[in-house]
Amino acid sequence: MTMVALFAVGCSGSKTTENTRQGVITLTHVNDFEELVNQKQIRVIDVRTPHEYAEGHIAGAENIDVQKPDFIERLRPKGTIAVYCRTGRRSHQAAMLIAEQGHNVYDLGGGIMAWMQSGKPTVR
């Protein structure tokens, strides 16, 4: 069983970190996630379906559907990864899978809905 510790970090609780035995998941506020997206060394993954991705996504994001059985194989995790979905449920599932592989991952709290509500741009 994975031991999990949750604690708030950063100002105004904008990040929550979940430590697993293998990796760390950082639940990230929209503004912090935007900073990550702007860093070229971060791999941004939209874990929604291809149809949802086509409706609008964060610029530069790759689309790898977490609900597909070959998600981890297609992802081939390496380096720092940031994930998001529509509201945060599927991205948390993806983050757990990635952390189980021993990688640290950032998860956009509230998903692309929070991103858009904050006035952040999307592309089609």
Catalytic residue IDs: 85
Gap between the Cα atoms of 30 and 35, Å rounded: 9
